[in-house]
Amino acid sequence: MGTLDGDSAYKLLVGAVQPRPIAWVSTISREGIPNLAPFSFFTVASRNPATVLISVTQRVDGAPKHTLVNASEMGELTISIPGRGDLDAVQVSSEEVGPDVDEHQLAGLETLPSDEIAAPRLAAAAISLECVLDRIVEVGSDHLILARVLKLHAAPGVFDARHRVDNSVLQPLARLAGPWFSTVENAIPAPSAQRAGA
């Protein structure tokens, strides 16, 4: 891998590591302009304290992405989980527009104020995580944003009383390689769960 150019390495890695969940990240700039962008290099970093991470590359012109700048300057972000009906809006919100453009508005998405932080959250999201910045770690060409989750908002029916998620309600959207996305409609139970009749 070390001898490959960045683009080839990227293509191999996004082919190897899929499907990937999508963090739809809302931040607010120092000037008070909200920002929204999707990130599929996204996972749980720690259960306790509850911490998630996203990996951020550079904009096409080489400048830092607004999400990284805002998270580092303001120390806050919300992460919403897009559903299958959000594909168009996810795509629109990934456009590399200027810092004065609010991609929530560009994508026609309503926001709500967060409870614990200034960054807004998506009103229609089935799940939103209110987060504060834990740290930013430079890894090679990119930056990891590690974010501690202060509060999780879930729409009715997404979790049951035992905190089990209902994917028929959440309908999470996943990122594959190239232009492809996926849903989780073909989920299959583990053989042990099948034997137990779950």
Ligand X SMILES: Cc1cc2nc3c(=O)[nH]c(=O)nc-3n(C[C@H](O)[C@H](O)[C@H](O)COP(=O)(O)O)c2cc1C
> Which stretches of the chain bind ligand X, using CB under 6 A?
22, 35, 37-41, 55-57, 59, 65-67, 90-91, 94-96, 175
Nearer to ligand X, 159 or 181 (CB): 181
> What distance in Å separates the CA atoms of residue 154 and residue 165, rounded to the nearest whole number?
10
Nearer to ligand X, 73 or 95 (CB): 95
Q: What are phi and psi of 85, to 5 degrees?
A: -80, -5
Q: At its nearest, how many Å lie between ligand X and the CB of residue 101?
A: 9
Q: At its nearest, how many Å lie between ligand X and the CB of residue 192?
A: 33
CB 75 within 8 A of CB 169: no
CB 53 within 8 A of CB 22: no
Q: At its nearest, how many Å lie between ligand X and the CB of residue 5?
A: 18
Nearer to ligand X, 38 or 134 (CB): 38
Nearer to ligand X, 51 or 159 (CB): 51
Q: At its nearest, how many Å lie between ligand X and the CB of residue 163?
A: 27
Q: At its nearest, how many Å lie between ligand X and the CB of residue 125?
A: 15
Q: What is the dihedral of CA 95, 101, 103, 104, to 10 degrees?
A: -170
Nearer to ligand X, 37 or 133 (CB): 37
